[in-house]
Structure 1
Amino acid sequence: MKTHRALVWMVPLGCAAWLGACGAEQPAPQCTVGRGDHAVRYTLKTGTGACALKTAEIVGAQVFREPGSGIPPSLVLKPKPLADNEGKDANPSHSVTSLGNFTTEYPTDDGVCVVPELSEARQTVSSESGTTEWSYRWSGLRIQGQAAIPGTQWTAELTYSEGDCTATYEAVGVFPAILCVRQETGADGKPVNVRDPRVCKQPRPGLSMDPAFPITCDESTNLCVLEGQPPVLIP
């Protein structure tokens, strides 16, 4: 009886020790993206004029999938400039979101999830000063799918139009979108925002920036944006 009991306990312990020593492989994470607002840094490639002035902005992102289907998920992007005017476009055929499909359900061997092309996001808004039209066309999205960077760093090419002006950008996104500002009390007793790059790395309730990400504060938008090309982590 004693021998039997010893075997009963030794087998589980032996399996645990074996798994720990051999390092049981974890299943690869599915292709995904941080759900919510991303801070996107832009580098101009071609174009001049009003459409060529972007440096950074917030872009909302979300993934949709059919659980257990084995079908690659879909990605939706919504730029904040369009979201701010949602519902003001009288053309029902226009959409403030772009939709595209991942090529695979899981990351490729190099740990990347690819969305080759997304539908156009377009908005036309009329005001007393005239009519303004914006267009976003995303392509070549490469979203990092490694366990350390699951959908929180990505690159893409953006073709952006504003009226008759068109420019192309390299886009680098990071999740979540955080403003590098802190509030102080002004001389009039009212709160004022003060630019402070340290805010990017400060822990906060809810969503915080990964401290392993190299982050810089974009001077024109006060957005905490990724420094360098994904995948990038502080050594």
Structure 2
Amino acid sequence: MKTRRAFAWILPLGCATLLGACDVEQPLPQCTIGRGEHAVRYTLVSGSGACATKRAEKVGAQIFRTPGSGIPPTLVLKPSPLAANEGRDTANSVTASGDFTTEYPGDNEVCAAPDFSEARQLVAQGDGTTKDLRYQWSNVRVQGSAAIPGTQWTADLVYSEGECSATYQAVGMFPAIQCVRTVGNTVERDPSICQQPRPGLSIDPAFPTFCEETTNLCVLAGEPPSLIAQP
């Protein structure tokens, strides 16, 4: 795997809305991804048991590139269940990495990274046993248009816990925002938060979202490229 310097990425809030209003064709940006935590929604394809219960979770993402080299960048993914164990199982990696096939999006405005290393951690349990968690990503397709520069993507995932394994289709969106608010001493679920501007990182208001009820994460509705129709 190539070693590269981190690429700085800035979220263009409302970019999709503005571009739609101006109807100006923009040049495609280099292949990239929102740097930070993404909200990933899972749809079960096959499998049963403990491995087949995923609905949504946070996955950290960033790219590494050598500026001016013309070499496609490397995409790195860090699932939150493994990140929580970082530093405890140093024999395995909490991250999975794979190379984009091109430096710029193709004619379909997609940046593809077909093959990834495995992310894996042996996680100690309260009863003294160890749980073997493994993520094998493949066929990652990141939206690379000027309207959606690295903020929506899809992937295939094989997730394993010991001998149990399940296959999912994953849909990711940047940034990861929780649809809850604190009222007094109580944390309450509030789906409206998904469409509210907030200081710092905000979900593009042109993205259709919903509050996933088992994790209280704002996730993307529909399949990328997914945008709210403008009047």
Compute the TM-score of the two structures, normalised by the length of structure 2. 0.87
Q: How far 1:25 moved relative to its partner?
A: 6.8
Q: 1:205 & 1:24 partners in 2: Cα distance?
A: 28
- 2:40–2:57 contact (8 Å) kept in structure 1: yes
Judged with a 3 Å threshold, the aligned counterparts in structure 2 of structure 1 residues 24 and 44 are, in CA distance, closer, same or farther, namely: closer
Q: 1:206 & 1:214 partners in 2: Cα distance?
A: 20
- What one-letter code is carried by the residue in structure 1 that aligns with 2:31? C
Q: 2:224 & 2:104 partners in 1: Cα distance?
A: 18
Count of matched residue positions in the alignment of Structure 1 and Structure 2? 206
Structure having the higher helix fraction is 1
1:168-189 Cα offsets, whole Å, 9 max, x none, are: 000000000000011101xxxx
Larger of the two Rg values belongs to structure: 1
Q: 1:126 & 1:40 partners in 2: Cα distance?
A: 25
Which secondary structure state, in structure 2, belongs to the residue aligned with residue 234 of structure 1? coil
1:3-42 Cα offsets, whole Å, 9 max, x none, are: xxxxxxxxxxxxxxxxxxxx99754200000000000000
Q: How far 1:78 moved relative to its partner?
A: 0.1
Which residues in structure 2 correspond to 1:8-23 (within 5 Å)?
A: none
Which residues in structure 2 correspond to 1:136-155 (within 5 Å)?
A: 136-155=135-154
Q: 1:176 & 1:126 partners in 2: Cα distance?
A: 30
What is aligned with 2:71?
71
What is aligned with 1:112?
110
Indicate yes or no: 2:88 matched with 1:85: no
Which secondary structure state, in structure 1, belongs to the residue aligned with residue 81 of structure 2? helix
Which secondary structure state, in structure 2, belongs to the residue aligned with residue 200 of structure 1? helix
Query: Which runs of no fewer than 5 residues in structure 2 stay unpaired?
Result: 1-22
Indicate yes or no: 2:223 matched with 1:229: yes
1:64-107 Cα offsets, whole Å, 9 max, x none, are: 00000000000000000000111121xx4310000100000000
Q: 1:24 & 1:139 partners in 2: Cα distance?
A: 34
- What one-letter code is carried by the residue in structure 2 that aligns with 1:229? E
Q: 1:52 & 1:119 partners in 2: Cα distance?
A: 21
- What one-letter code is carried by the residue in structure 2 that aligns with 1:30? Q
Note the aligned Cα RMSD (angstroms): 1.4
Q: 1:25 & 1:122 partners in 2: Cα distance?
A: 42
Q: 1:127 & 1:221 partners in 2: Cα distance?
A: 22
Q: 1:25 & 1:169 partners in 2: Cα distance?
A: 35
Structure with more contact order per residue of length (Cα contacts < 8 Å, sep ≥ 6): 2
Which secondary structure state, in structure 2, belongs to the residue aligned with residue 199 of structure 1? helix
- What one-letter code is carried by the residue in structure 2 that aligns with 1:159? V
Q: 1:63 & 1:155 partners in 2: Cα distance?
A: 16
What is aligned with 1:7?
none
Judged with a 3 Å threshold, the aligned counterparts in structure 2 of structure 1 residues 104 and 80 are, in CA distance, closer, same or farther, namely: same
